[in-house]
Amino acid sequence: MGQIAAEETGSWVAETVIDAHAAMTRTAMRIVGSTLFGLDVTGDAARVGVALDGVLAISNRLLPLAQLVGQGLSPDEQSAAAQLIAELDDVIAGIIAQRRAAPGDRDVVSLLTRAVDDEGDGGGLSDREIRDEVMTLFLAGHETTANALAWTLHLLSHHPEALAQIAAEADRCGTGTGAVGLDQLEQLPITQAALREGMRLFPPAWLTTREVVQPTTIRGVDLAVGAQVIVSPWLTQRDPRWWPDADEFRIDRWLYPDEQRPKWAYFPFGGGARGCIGEHFAMLEATIILAEVARRWTISPAGDAPEPEFRVTLRPTPAVPLRLQRRAPH
């Protein structure tokens, strides 16, 4: 993670404008490719990006609810969707084939190709099962993290004082020219506070659902078994009951947390048995990347502020244009 974060942020050019969303997507995709699959997926990044854009654009309309209210896909759109999914499948099939041919020790795909169902029939995973796992990790593992970083960078471009604190923290970590790593994580509380605050205002997964398994009443509303309940970090995390000056970016909320605040006033990673399995991976990765950005660059807004686009994830649209200035060495 550290190596890729350092390479990517180190390749930026002073006095230019970058789209931080594109830059973070590329970085996060490379990190997932490398850490989970042991591969360099840079070449696939553009293909996956285009296919993923297309799938995300229609994904809400693939859901049963959309079909029910007549907003499902037309036959033409269905075949376009099938093509996009085939494109993604192709990239994933390539990853699986490479790992079967040259298994690694630690990457997830190699582990899955060797996995045995001890509690069941003792067999291994089919290609289809591995494909489903890999697709989930690949998609869940980079889009959300890239969004979290892009929104946080957008917010920090309007809060130079917070960015300066993060930069100073990265310097204090004593990383010198090397990349920030696991050992330094606990020395980066301000960096993590900025990410938590970024995800409070712009939770990448802005809603999640639960199915009612036993008759339940919430504030006088009876919920029958099988009912779908939608919960939204976007709404709860901007509720002034729990968050004074709810719309303001204030990293001190996390440095001096309010002990009275209920635990579930904040849940960007969901929770319980179906909570995000990548939470710690994502926080580690995002902290490292943000520290690497702040150590090298001062950023300022360079165009219209992005708007949130409420799809499966909360994307900054159309882009996050930031002007880069090289930070004086400390």
Residues of the chain by 3-state class (helix, strand, coil), percent to 5: 55, 10, 35
Give the tokens for residue 63.
């859901």
Least separation in angstroms between CB 230 and ligand HEM: 11
Q: Nearer to ligand HEM by C-beta: 164 or 265?
A: 265
SS3 32: helix
Nearer to ligand HEM, 110 or 298 (CB): 110
The residue count of the chain comes to 330
CA-based Rg of the chain, rounded to a whole angstrom?
Answer: 21
Nearer to ligand HEM, 168 or 227 (CB): 227
Query: In the complex, which residues of this chain contact ligand HEM (CB under 6 A)?
Result: 136-137, 140-141, 144-145, 148, 204-205, 208, 268-271, 274-278, 281-282
Contact 31, 16 (CB under 8 A): no
The dihedral built from the CA positions of residue 26, 40, 294 and 140, taken in this order, carries a sign that is: positive
CB of 321 to ligand HEM, least distance (A): 22
Least distance to ligand HEM from the beta carbon of 44, Å? 17
Q: Which among 330, 329, 318, 314 is positioned nearest to 152, based on CA atoms?
A: 314
Nearer to ligand HEM, 198 or 321 (CB): 198
Tokens 């219209």, residue located: 304
- Please count the other Cβ atoms lying within 10 Å of the Cβ belonging to residue 185: 18
Nearer to ligand HEM, 24 or 294 (CB): 24
CB 163 within 8 A of CB 156: yes
Question: What is the closest distance, in whole angstroms, from the C-beta atom of residue 277 to ligand HEM in the complex?
Answer: 5
Coil/strand/helix, residue 288: helix
Whole-number minimum distance, CB 35 to ligand HEM, in Å?
8
* 97 vs 277 by CB, closer to ligand HEM: 277
Measured in whole angstroms, the distance separating CA 172 from the mean position of its chain's CA atoms is: 27
Nearer to ligand HEM, 141 or 306 (CB): 141
Q: Considering the complex, what minimum distance in angstroms separates the CB of residue 51 from ligand HEM?
A: 19
Q: Which amino acid is at 306?
A: P
